[in-house]
Copies of this chain bind each other. A is one copy, B any other.
Amino acid sequence: MTVRETSPRGRRAARPSGDDRELAILATAERLLGEKPLSAISVDDLARGAGISRPTFYFYFASKDAVLLSLLDRVVAEADAVSREAFDHPVSGPREGWGRVITAYYETFRAHRALTLAWAEARSSNAEIRRLWADVVESWVQRCTTAIEAERTRGAAPDGPPARDLAVVLASTNERVLYATFSGDGPALAETDVVDVLLEVWLRAIYGASPTD
């Protein structure tokens, strides 16, 4: 087995024993995020949690945000795989198809609730995290755009705003509604209802007609 190539993010070089430490830092981060918000976690907390001193932390990660980024990379990869699968899966009708898509999105982020909330917190202050999320949404929007256009072409959906614009709006809707549901601040939907309501709004937005006045 040759020297393992780790991802560009993470520690500076690759060697055995240090791997444990890197994992320990990541695990500590995920654990602490379940207890308190990102802003209340210091580099020192992460270091001590992983059994090392603060300067040593910097041997493995460039900053607190770099740890979060590492964590997010994993979730993003998972979300992307699940989403791709949801879009490719054969379906019997629009309701089942879009329901599958929304459910996939919902399940993935629900499984990593703490990380999802931390991401939202870090986004406002970190350009790299912003970019990572923008990429995720973009690929999501593209898939939706294609699907909407296909529905229009086959005559199942009426014309309306450009498919991409519609996709951007719907992706934004999911993002904000699910975030509210998971974080629980401000008006939000119950976890048991959120997928159903979102699905109904999606279906109406894509297949429904607006009143002619």
Contact = CB atoms under 8 A, between A and B. Distances in A.
A104 to B, nearest CB: 19
Contacts of A160: 200, 204
A177 B187 contact: no
- Copies of the polypeptide in the assembly: 2
State the majority secondary structure of interface residues on A. Answer: helix
A37 B127 CA distance: 12
Interface residues of A, number: 52
Interface in A122-150: 124-125, 130, 133-134, 137-138, 141
B209 A204 contact: yes
A198 B168 CA distance: 11
Interface of A: 37, 39, 92-96, 120-121, 124-125, 130, 133-134, 137-138, 141, 156, 160-161, 165-166, 168-173, 175-177, 180, 185-189, 193, 196-198, 200-201, 203-205, 207-211, 213
